[in-house]
């Protein structure tokens, strides 16, 4: 995921450089207004798409971090229960107590 986020960031930077070159070309008289507007809109659409991808990747990264935190909390709780609560003495009730099948 980190690699994909880096790729999107690079693409955003490249798109910004293209936008700057496009403006320079227009201001230098190399492009007509209609061509400039068409290409500018294309670059804006690309930028919007890349920003949407970046938002999705950022959200996925936050979600994964949160899930890892929750999993750690569950594991911590499981270990605390094993450590602090006495085990049942009868073999009949011991089955429900064994948390090893959970994780």
Q: Where are the beta strands (DSSP E) in 26-78?
A: none
Q: What pTM does this model have? A: 0.66
- Buried residues in 38-63 as b, exposed as e (16+ CB within 10 A): ebbeeeeebbeebeebbeebeeeeee
pLDDT tens-digit profile of 40-73?
A: 999 999 999 999 999 999 999 999 999 999 999 9
Q: What is the pLDDT of residue 97?
A: 53
Mean pLDDT of 32-41: 97
pLDDT tens-digit profile of 72-101?
A: 999 999 999 888 887 666 555 555 555 555
């Amino acid at each position: 995921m980190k690699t994909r986020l880096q790729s999107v960031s690079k693409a955003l930077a490249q798109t910004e450089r293209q936008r700057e070159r496009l403006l320079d070309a227009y201001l230098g008289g190399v492009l007509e207004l209609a061509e400039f507007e068409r290409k500018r809109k294309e670059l804006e659409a690309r930028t919007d798409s890349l920003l949407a991808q970046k938002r999705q990747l950022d959200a996925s990264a936050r979600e994964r971090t949160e899930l890892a935190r929750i999993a750690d909390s569950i594991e911590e709780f499981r270990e605390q229960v094993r450590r602090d609560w006495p085990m049942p003495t009868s073999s009949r009730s011991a089955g429900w107590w064994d948390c090893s099948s959970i994780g």
